[in-house]
Chain A
Amino acid sequence: MKVSYFETARYRAPRQLPAQWPVPPAAYDRDAGTQSYHGMVERMQFVEKLGFDWISVSEHHYSPQRLTPNPVVSAAYLAGYAQNIKIAVLGPIVSQSNPVQVAEELAMLDNMLPGRLVVGMLRGITGEYLTYGLNPAEARERTSEAMELVLKAWTEPQPFGWQGRHFRFRTVAVWPRPRQQPHPPTYALGTSRESCEFAARHHLGLGVSYAPFGVIAKATRFYRDACAQCGWQPAPEHVIYRANILIGETDAEAEALLDEQRRARQAFPLRAQVRDALLELDIRNVAGEARTPNVGGVLPTNFVGSPDTIVEQIKCCREQSGVGVIDLMFQIPGSADLGFLMRSLELFGTKVLPRIRDV
């Protein structure tokens, strides 16, 4: 099993913030912002030393919860400090981006690293439809087209035009190209049938997130079947699982913390009327079975307990869903105590990591 540390810049607000997304920018504290980016580097260097394989970043907007509206920009900063760790951009929200620009940025980044970039391409969580005014009804189709265009922009040797449904370019000729040829390890992110089929067709990996093992197992099974139909078999590291983790010295400690975590604030809470309207409009599925989107809700904590318990949970996860990379969001319940985060990372790095390498 490979392990990735999910870094969100951990902005620590000096005072109580309005809960609702989008958060008014007037509440932004510049010193806290600066500290949060510096902390990002410290934590990356820490997990690098502990032996984590990747550090991952994600794209979120208009919120102190994830201070990385362009994850490639944060990753380029991290690249300036990284030694050996891979940087996983999971991922640019391609549905609302200019796919050619995404291809350019990621290619630059892969050259800066050099060659240690991992890419995931994302449709985006429901709330992000509001960021740049994306029509929820078009989100899926735009994602598929954009992913195809990004891959084409990385691999086509001659300048070309793109006559798409949602994107049109007469001239695409991306310089630089990625350092890794033909392109960096790339994942389609999401549990949906479309995401699995796209990944299978293009020989890409699949990234799933947060749902319980049983749910993600449906998607990974569907993905492996689709790969078989396309005549290939994915390796375990072709499947990433982004999950919440709460690690304590003992199970009792972790369980107690989990209670606190359950009372925690949602990451991107929306005004009720907007949430309800989005719930109606956002059509999602797991391997073809309809599922309700998570709009502004709390996400489950997937791994909880002492190091021993977590090792068992990770084994169980591997057996049930076959994932080869876990991308971990470390919880710090009840406070913004970064000391707790560092202790959790160390505990994981010393007591769990060595025991799951052969899982």
Chain B
Amino acid sequence: MRVLQKGLIVTQAGDAFREGHVDADGFRIRYMEAGQGPPFVHLHGAGGLRLTRGHDLLSRQFRVIAFEMPGFGASPENDRSRDMPELAATMATATDALGLDQFNLMGTSFGGKTALWLALLQPDRVQALVLEAPAAIRPHGSRPPAGSPEEMARRLFAHPERLAPMPLPDPAVQARQARLTARLRGPDRDADLEGRLPGLVVPTLVLFGTVDRVIPPEMGHFYKELMPNCHLVFVYDAGHAISTDRPEAFVEVVADFIERREAFVISRTDTVIHP
């Protein structure tokens, strides 16, 4: 718990999550877990694992397992994963080690590409795929966010001024992560990956914030054009970090999609004003 300036008492995002570790491909992989229900695996973005209110809301309906991929956070430098498919294979092994047979999978930004590769490698295990502002298809010459914490915040969030201050990142961790992601992110248009996407039949939800300043939301339609069972949703007035900017809106559509897959397009909203 902490107290904000306005006197509001709030629970710190992720308070309900418990830490765990699992071994895979010789890595000791940290994860955070909370909630009951269908398993929901999350692979974070290039900035590493940061639990948000989005995770909290998801954990009300799902057993959420948010991994910290090897080389991120406090884990040692990862110079073994040679490319994204290899990192994805490691993460698949980690889910195996946790005893997950089938699961829902969400990847954020950089982790969106990891999640796509994981689904391509083991499509039968992924029940539904959610890509939050995925970085798998980028405009030519796009650059990952970098710079001061203020500049980073301006790139990542729609309204950084509305957010509570975040802990300052450790420069050493940042440098390790930057080396790893630069090596694994691949080309802006990855022909190998895009060539495989038409064969990926897993129900997929792609989300973009309308004010994403890292990956333009105009990249969204490429996924829909390439993948046979893909849905595209714009989250209004959210930046790259959708689940931080608009957690309720984000989780409503994600949870509905996980529950009903493509039938999530059918409204079940009650519009009765008075009985």
Contacts and interface: CB of A to CB of B under 8 A. Distances in A.
A192 to B, nearest CB: 17
A161 B236 contact: no
Chain A interface size, as a band, is 10 to 19
Contact of B233 (A148, A157, A161): A161
Contacts of B237: 145, 164-165
Given A148-B210, A170-B264, A160 B236 contact: no
Interface stretch (B6-14, B103-111, B248-256): B248-256
Chain B at the A interface: SS class: mixed
B200 interface: no
B233 A163 contact: yes
Interface in A127-178: 145, 148-149, 152, 156-165, 167, 170-171
A251 to B, nearest CB: 51
Contacts of A148: 210, 236
A159 B233 contact: no
B225 A161 contact: no
A163 B232 contact: no
B213 interface: no
Contacts of B207: 163
A149 B234 CA distance: 10
Interface in B233-275: 233-237, 246, 249-250, 252-253, 264-267
B220 interface: yes
Interface centre among A148, A156, A160, A165 (most CB of B within 10 A): A160
A145 B236 CA distance: 7
Nearest to A172: B234
B42 interface: no
A89 to B, nearest CB: 24
A158 B221 contact: yes
A163 B252 contact: yes
Interface in A163-199: 163-165, 167, 170-171
Contact of B234 (A157, A163, A165): A163
Given A145-B236, A160-B233, A170 B221 contact: no
B221 A163 contact: no
Contacts of A157: 221, 225
B235 A159 contact: no
B155 interface: no
B63 interface: no
Given A148-B236, A170-B264, A170-B267, A161 B253 contact: yes
B224 interface: yes
B224 A162 contact: no
Given A159-B224, A170-B267, A164 B232 contact: no
B113 interface: no
Contacts of A164: 236-237, 249
A84 B83 CA distance: 60
Contacts of B253: 161, 163
B44 interface: no
A161 B225 CA distance: 15
Interface string B77-88: 000000000000
A332 B210 CA distance: 46
A158 B226 CA distance: 11
Contacts of A161: 231-234, 253, 265
B267 A158 contact: no
Given A170-B264, A170-B265, A163 B231 contact: no
A171 B246 CA distance: 20
A163 B224 contact: no
Contact of B232 (A145, A158, A165, A167): A158
A201 to B, nearest CB: 9
A162 B236 contact: yes
Interface centre among B210, B233, B236, B264 (most CB of A within 10 A): B236
Contacts of B267: 170
Contacts of A156: 221
B233 A158 contact: no
A159 B236 contact: no
B224 A165 contact: no
A194 to B, nearest CB: 13
A302 B274 CA distance: 48
Interface in B109-134: none
A50 to B, nearest CB: 43
B234 A162 contact: yes
Given A158-B221, A163-B250, A171 B236 contact: no
Interface string A230-263: 0000000000000000000000000000000000
The 7 closest A-B pairs by CB, nearest first: A161-B233, A164-B236, A158-B221, A158-B224, A170-B265, A163-B235, A160-B232
Interface of B: 207, 210, 220-221, 224-225, 231-237, 246, 249-250, 252-253, 264-267
27 contacts: A145-B237, A149-B236, A152-B210, A156-B221, A157-B221, A157-B225, A158-B224, A159-B224, A160-B220, A160-B221, A160-B233, A161-B231, A161-B233, A161-B234, A161-B253, A161-B265, A162-B234, A162-B236, A163-B233, A163-B235, A163-B236, A163-B250, A163-B252, A164-B236, A164-B249, A165-B236, A170-B267
Interface of A: 145, 148-149, 152, 156-165, 167, 170-171
Given A149-B236, A163-B236, A170-B266, 6 more contacts: A156-B221, A161-B234, A162-B234, A163-B235, A163-B246, A163-B249
